[in-house]
Chains A and B, each alone.
Chain A
Amino acid sequence: MSENNYLQVDHLVKYFGDDRAVDGISFGIPEGKFLTLLGPSGCGKTTTLMCIAGLHKPDAGEIRIGSDPVTSIEKRINTAPEKRNIGMVFQSYAIWPHMDVTQNVAYPLEIRNMAQSEIDDRVAEALKIVGLTDMADKNATQLSGGQQQRAALARAMVFRPRLLLFDEPLSNLDLKLREQMRVELKRIQHEIGITSIYVTHDQAEALVMSDEIIVMSKGHIEQTGGPHNIYARPVNRFVSNFIGVANLTEGRIVGNGGGGAGAIEISQGGESVQLPCLLADGLSEGDDAYLSVRPENVDASRKPMDGPRIEGEVIQSVFLGNCLDCRVKWGEFEWKVLAHSRERLRVGEKVYVRLDPDHTLAVRP
């Protein structure tokens, strides 16, 4: 599998002082795909990106682009960033304020000693793709945040790099613009077809844009997979908690029906209940685990329902139009429930909670 990958990172380690910021991670990405490194701040995602860019030198590991080993600490290879032919969009956009938009975008081509006519053509084409044709003569300081973002993208791709790297490029934009740019970025990446790596802490961004997501924390990879997979089948407590909203509570595996199906026992206030669930890889009977179920897969109703019985008290009920956002207290645990709005549950009512067994997961602690 790793031979097919266009970019391959192997056993990457980077220290900052005594802090192991990146702790021996490995991953790859096929040509033309869009990979996102997702995680909270300090998880090592930006450091990983900087190592790929060549702006940081890792302490161990290998990075290969195509058949070109750009970094191999063992073989004492560490190609200078300018020799890697990688385009990068920075968090602050890094549009040079002493140049206008055209000069900014033309810069990488001038460095490569291209003919002026070719530079003009390429800059015009790049500006067209990002929709900045009208802004070509504007000074960098006259651009809005979104426009600077587009100019930075044009500058990063104008020299047709082997890779495009994005370091939280949308985090400085306001919400509306951010949502618009997500779609736009994805469209442009698809159009030019350059293999891309995107770093973000915003899970919504990652879910919308990526072909593949790598969830990181504390320098480790927690889970790798497509957006749907990451959301629907988190493998551990961290991923379940970090992506979307989940009910998470401690339990123990009590049954393993094979084929990934099983049962988990959870207890609250002396009351325990066994729930059918899907088991994450590596969990077997008797293991400590966490129950993970998204609020939309939990229902609450006044009448008892089939299956395991969980009875609790509504302590919060907010009408959202299409559904009710409820909290149901069961022992010390509060279930987050998105209930049918026709249920009209009121605070203080006794209700029965039912979990959808097809979307109830047992995940690693």
Chain B
Amino acid sequence: MATDTAAPQIDVAPPRGWRTWFTQENIITTIVGLIVAVAVIVPLVALVINSFLVLDDLGFDTEWGLQNYRDIFHGHVIRKALVNTAIISTGCTILATLLGVSLAWINARTNCPFREQLEPFNLIPFFLSPFVGAIAWHNLASPKVGLINNMAKTAFGIDFPLFNVNNLWGVIWVTGIFFAPLVYLFVVGSLRRMDPSLEDSARTTGAGLFRTTMTITLPLVTPAILSGAIIVFVTTAGEFGVPFKLSAPFGWETLTTQIFTKAVGDDANHYLGAAMSMVVGVVTAFFIWIQHRIIAPRSYTTVTGKGFRPNLIDLGRWRWLAFAYNLSYVCVAVFLPIICLFFVSLHKIWSGRIIWSELTFWNYQKVLFFWWPESIQAATNGIINSFILAFGGASIAMVVAIIVSYMIHRTKGFGARLLDFLSVIPIGFPGIVLAMGVLVTYIRTPIYATLWILLLGYITRFFPYGQRNISSIMMAVSEELDQSSRMAGASWLTTLRRITIPLLKPGIFAGWILLFVIFLRELSISIILYSAGTETLSVGVYYLSNFENEPMTSALSIAQTVALLICIVIFRKVAGKEALTA
């Protein structure tokens, strides 16, 4: 009997073969991992260092100190901006959560009519630019030039402005309706995949429909709601375009608009800007950490492998009310803004009324015809640059995303854990904060004032979105599919090319288009990092809004919106309906 229970205990201090380390896999993943680590960590470190440098009164020299932070918490203007940011973020989170949860419930769990037709429209604001939304609502509901206010005046003789969005409420309103889809996306997936027996068993104990919804259904999706709410809070805190357009010109500054004034312009003070970015970044990173570590892991596993068909609640006559509610949301978030912008863009001068006899496409010539000497450079440059950045950025970011996902899910050890961590960090910092870090890092290098610095900022901030797209598929695809290719004699690269990437194809396409959309409308990174000649589409809109007029601004906004809408159609074709509902 050949037993081996008495195998000698071997003390393992094995000499590691350094030559065996140089495999295709190790070389490529290490290089990409290091690049990602440098790209993510260096700007944040630079931000921390610069925030402790205080500019002297002459503006030439710096010394170490805490004066920047003292300015933030004691200086009158900045402290007010801090308070405004908190008010806006809180208000927007409440509004977006109410809208998102109610719309998700109506679409996923009731017999609301036409809900399948409405669903894609509910998601459109997710893809559009909130900055453009703010411009549209400025033209719809500002006291003097607001279309709605003027129509109310004409039709009902209402003398005073019915609505006024040029204040904090306006910012909350626009960000709320634009970020509602974030909550919607978090919640609708959980609602759809919920095991109906959870609710059925409540019904059998005697709980009514309303009671079951309140005591079983909603509590079960609470983690999803909280996750969505936190993401909205953080996104709003970092939102630049909406407060910049609506509230800042009327005295309600936020931290982001203040950071902007410290980054560019006559009043520039990068060190103070860095300190303000730190304040925003610490808060948002803390909330994202809470979401990641505490809320996301508590998501109740109501999801099993089975394809559930959740119970639909018969709303009776109330279903038309639900329909009207959903339709109004789509109107205020999608139709009204786009229609308004379109009409504004057809006027040479906008006075708050549609003058049918004076409609013209002249503005479109000014902002689109880049070959025309009279075209506005900032706009035409912006279009070309944004397409270059979106195409190049999405492509490079997806390559990074594939390799990073591969490392996180297919390798073990320190590198995998580090990358997992590194690919959460950029999500925790708003674009404007990260851009501030990129700015202070690279301002003295040759890439400053080129498209490269924008590309770097875009990819660093947004590759995690692509990485999540890839990771969700990679987790569903068994590692054994890769391993069996290795066993069949294929090298690591061949396996990547012939097995891994083909299996990830749907995720790669979906991620690419998502990033393309994000880059095409990106504002808060671009506004910090652009310089003359490297404007982007949203910077072009900003330029027109600041230095030209509303109709021209609207024309470029419509051009951007049309490009984004085309991308949405392609995205739904490629990725399928469920792609976003994580």
Contact = CB atoms under 8 A, between A and B. Distances in A.
A349 interface: no
A23 B3 contact: no
Nearest to A238: B5
Interface string A67-86: 00000011011101111111
A90 B480 contact: yes
Nearest to B487: A88
A76 B12 CA distance: 14
A107 B478 contact: no
A309 to B, nearest CB: 32
Contact of A11 (B7, B487, B488, B490): B7
A225 B23 contact: no
Nearest to B23: A80
A220 interface: yes
Residue of B19, B480, B487 with most partner-chain A CB within 10 A: B487
Contacts of A13: 10, 12
Given A25-B7, A82-B486, A90-B480, A97 B503 contact: yes
Contacts of A262: none
Residue of B1, B19, B483, B484 with most partner-chain A CB within 10 A: B484
A235 interface: yes
A133 B316 CA distance: 57
B2 interface: yes
B297 interface: no
B502 interface: yes
Contacts of B488: 82, 87, 107-108, 111, 155-156, 159
A155 B503 contact: no
Contacts of B478: 90, 92, 94
A24 B20 contact: no
B17 interface: yes
A84 to B, nearest CB: 8
Contact of B480 (A24, A26, A92, A111): A92
A225 B2 contact: yes
B15 A11 contact: no
Contacts of B8: 11, 24
B1 A112 contact: no
Contacts of A221: 3-5, 7
A91 interface: yes
Nearest to A161: B487
A357 B503 CA distance: 61
Interface in B1-55: 1-5, 7-10, 12, 14-17, 19-20, 23
Contacts of B480: 90-94
Contacts, number: 129
Interface of A, helix, strand, loop or mixed by DSSP:
mixed
A210 to B, nearest CB: 15
A281 interface: yes
A74 B15 contact: yes
B23 A281 contact: no
A39 to B, nearest CB: 13
A84 B488 CA distance: 9
A285 interface: no
Interface string A35-55: 000000000000000000111
Contact of A111 (B3, B14, B17, B490): B490
A78 B17 contact: yes
Interface string A236-248: 1000000000000
B485 A73 contact: no
A112 B15 contact: no
Interface residues of A, number: 56
A25 B485 CA distance: 28
Contact of B502 (A23, A80, A98, A155): A98
Interface residues of B, number: 34
B581 interface: no
Interface in A156-179: 156, 159, 165
B419 interface: no
Nearest to B8: A24
A83 B498 CA distance: 18
B4 A26 contact: yes
A107 B206 CA distance: 59
Residue of B1, B9, B503 with most partner-chain A CB within 10 A: B1
Nearest to B16: A76
Nearest to A112: B489
Interface string B465-478: 00000000000001
Contact of A98 (B7, B494, B503): B503
A54 B8 CA distance: 24
B546 interface: no
B294 interface: no
B485 A107 contact: yes
A224 interface: yes
B570 interface: no
B20 A78 contact: yes
B479 to A, nearest CB: 9
A59 interface: yes
A229 interface: yes
A86 B489 CA distance: 8
A255 B405 CA distance: 64
B340 to A, nearest CB: 47
Given A24-B8, A59-B14, A98-B503, A88 B491 contact: no
B486 to A, nearest CB: 4
Nearest to A219: B7
Contacts of A86: 487
A81 B483 contact: yes
Interface in A211-237: 220-225, 229, 233, 235-236
Nearest to B477: A97
B499 A220 contact: no
Nearest to B505: A98
A76 B7 contact: no
A96 interface: yes
Residue of A111, A225, A233 with most partner-chain B CB within 10 A: A111
Contacts of A155: 484, 488
A222 B503 contact: no
A333 interface: no
A13 B9 CA distance: 10
Contacts of B498: 107
A83 B487 CA distance: 8
B5 A88 contact: no
Interface string A89-117: 01111101110000000011001100000
Interface string A1-30: 000000000010101000000011111000
A315 interface: no
A266 interface: no
A54 B17 CA distance: 15
A222 B2 CA distance: 10
Interface string B327-345: 0000000000000000000
Given A76-B17, A156-B484, 9 more contacts: A13-B10, A74-B15, A76-B15, A82-B490, A83-B489, A94-B480, A220-B7, A221-B4, A221-B5
9 contacts: A24-B9, A25-B4, A54-B486, A60-B12, A61-B10, A76-B15, A84-B487, A92-B480, A111-B494
Interface of A: 11, 13, 15, 23-27, 53-55, 59-61, 73-74, 76-78, 80-88, 90-94, 96-98, 107-108, 111-112, 152, 155-156, 159, 165, 220-225, 229, 233, 235-236, 281
